[in-house]
A = this chain, B = another copy of it.
Amino acid sequence: MHSDPLAPILVIWVIILVSAKLGGELFERLGQPSVLGELMAGVILGNIILLNPDWTFFEPLRIEAPTEGWANFIDLLARLGVILLLFEVGLESTVAEMREVGKSSLLVAATGVIAPFVLGFGISMAFIREIPAGLVDRLPADFNLINIHIFIGAALCATSVGITARVFKDLGKLQTKEAKIILGAAVIDDVLGLIILAAVVGMVGAAMTGQEFSFTSIAKITFIALGSLTASIVLGTLLAPRIIRFLWKLHTQGVAVITALIFCFMLSWLADEAGLAAIVGSFAAGLILEEVYFKGFKDEVTLHQLIRPISTIFVPIFFVLMGIRVRIENFANIEILGLTLSVTLAAIIGKQVCGLVIGGQEIDRLSIGVGMIPRGEVGLIFAGIGQGIGIFDASLFSAMVIMVIITTLITPPVLKLTLSRWEKKTSCAQDK
């Protein structure tokens, strides 16, 4: 008589959680970060259809951003998952700690944008010497190919911090200086990415339509993004302890966890409104909140213990879904193999420069470079916009998607490797 619309979603949620835990367990026993297992479980769930075209069960989830039905609900739960992950990661650091690594983060972020851009631009110049086949009908014959080179370069600038944050978390290394530098760089990168996207879309759009390119709008976007980020952190740091101390007086149950999540949700929303990724906001919320503010609530557990069960059931959805959206058939497109591989290499090598620019002896430069590799959803957003405005044909788009997949999948094992190499090295140095 009831027929709850939630019921079928619960089953899919269970399937995702079970595969995430099976994959995570397997890869952890192989000495790998469990996030790699969750990604791989997703790749299997999403591509099992290749074995038998009738197994269309996960088909709705393979769409990048489903807008209806249960796939939409799962997609939203996954977005909640990554917001909670970055909130939890943020909780492990303080604003002061981030300010300490601020300069290094800025350097890393800036290098991580410039180097891949230059490399990507160069590779595009080498490979693309005429208007791509799929765009001949859509672009004017005198179209300046430089616009395509710029867009490919720009698509390589992004950093998707979710994967790296999870690897550091899986390995219990969020407290290291390297983790903090990368996290700071990722936040700055999101601001830079926003500016680059606005600039590139503006320039290319102007080139394609013959309209004038507006610097003012880009300045405005930059101002809003930087302004709201700074304002949230400054105001949040000032107000959070006062607000929370006032809430200690409440009698009703569960105020601690609700307060924490309200901070997280509101800053996520604000970041989104400012054009940034919602996870930048939830990370900032995590930085602002300190365990000590929550000592006055009547809960007998810590803030971490309150958030962990919630993140435990949502975070894996994000990574399994990321795996489900990997389309193995993309790799079958061999006519663009040269370009694809070169772009991927550029994406990887470009970020390795990040580590080299940091001064000081005691820093794991290699791991910083590796931690910046994953492009994740940000790279896909660029590729999607490139396709949308008609500057990427299907082949170019496919090359970008493969670049994103490879950079995302190689990071967990390689980062694990470089981190343990560094650990061994430093512990030997201490032994001497």
Contact = CB atoms under 8 A, between A and B. Distances in A.
Interface stretch (A51-59, A91-99, A309-317, A339-347): A309-317
A65 interface: yes
Nearest to A250: B25
Interface in A248-290: 250-255, 257-258, 261-262, 265-266, 268-269, 272-273, 275-278
Contacts of A254: 21, 308-309, 312-313
Contacts of A72: 73
Nearest to A275: B1
A47 B29 CA distance: 55
A37 B252 CA distance: 11
A92 to B, nearest CB: 15
Contact of A251 (B17, B29, B252, B301): B29
Contact of A28 (B25, B252, B278): B252
Given A307-B309, A310-B310, A312-B254, A277 B4 contact: yes
A65 B3 CA distance: 12
Contacts of A9: 76
A141 interface: no
A42 to B, nearest CB: 16
B306 A272 contact: no
A327 interface: no
A351 to B, nearest CB: 20
Contacts of A61: none
A76 to B, nearest CB: 5
Given A7-B268, A76-B6, A252-B28, A258 B312 contact: yes
A62 to B, nearest CB: 17
B79 A76 contact: no
A123 interface: no
Contact of A269 (B7, B18, B73): B7
A80 interface: yes
Contact of A4 (B7, B10, B193, B272): B272
A100 to B, nearest CB: 28
Q: Which 5 A-B pairs have the closest CB atoms?
A: A254-B312, A7-B272, A10-B265, A6-B79, A24-B252
Given A6-B79, A14-B266, A17-B258, 9 more contacts: A1-B381, A6-B268, A7-B269, A11-B265, A11-B266, A18-B262, A34-B252, A257-B312, A301-B305
